[in-house]
Chains A and B, each alone.
Chain A
């Protein structure tokens, strides 16, 4: 099925470890973004991309890196995990910043940093 695929669904890390959260979409969407969801905080934008080779920071970018080498993939990297990064992470895509189709969200990655 077409959509946004996130892997892994669950992950436990030790403080200081690094990892990459994967996000892939097969809808040829230009726009992709990463959010973190914390109780009572809603979804906060971490990084976003308006096309291959173009990324920009969102509301809470510290501790996270992204790259966009292809239209399909938008991985999120944690270089040195901290307990404050325990959260649920969602990737979303859209066919353009002026798209009339809204955003499609992945099913999320639940990350726990101990």
Chain B
């Protein structure tokens, strides 16, 4: 079964700072990759996904992620965060009929 690692579980930064969240996965087959966001008290919402093609994927709200196959990574970035980006972010990998999640990154943006 696949596994997903997310580092720096708690991130605190100021508005306008840049954000990068790391995601590494282990799986030997073809994978689909996702980033989800969970705002306080809400359910998960899809930020972006990668299935094939251009490894640089652009999602909603100014987020983007880059798939680097050789590094088994799918890091999430945003050049300039806003207070409204305060949320928990989850990387997920689908393979073999299963969608597996990382443990999440709690991001707090200070106004």
Contact = CB atoms under 8 A, between A and B. Distances in A.
Interface SS of chain A: strand
Contacts of A100: 49, 51
Interface stretch (B61-69, B77-85, B97-105): B97-105
B44 A105 contact: yes
Contacts of A45: 98-100
Contacts of B51: 100
Contacts of A108: 43
Contacts of B6: 42
B94 interface: yes
A102 B46 CA distance: 8
Contact of B97 (A40, A56, A103, A105): A56
Interface string B37-49: 0000011111001
Interface of A: 31, 33, 35, 40-45, 48, 50, 56, 58-59, 90, 92, 94, 97, 100, 102-103, 105-108
Interface of B: 1, 4, 6, 9, 34, 36, 42-46, 49, 51, 90, 92, 94, 97-104
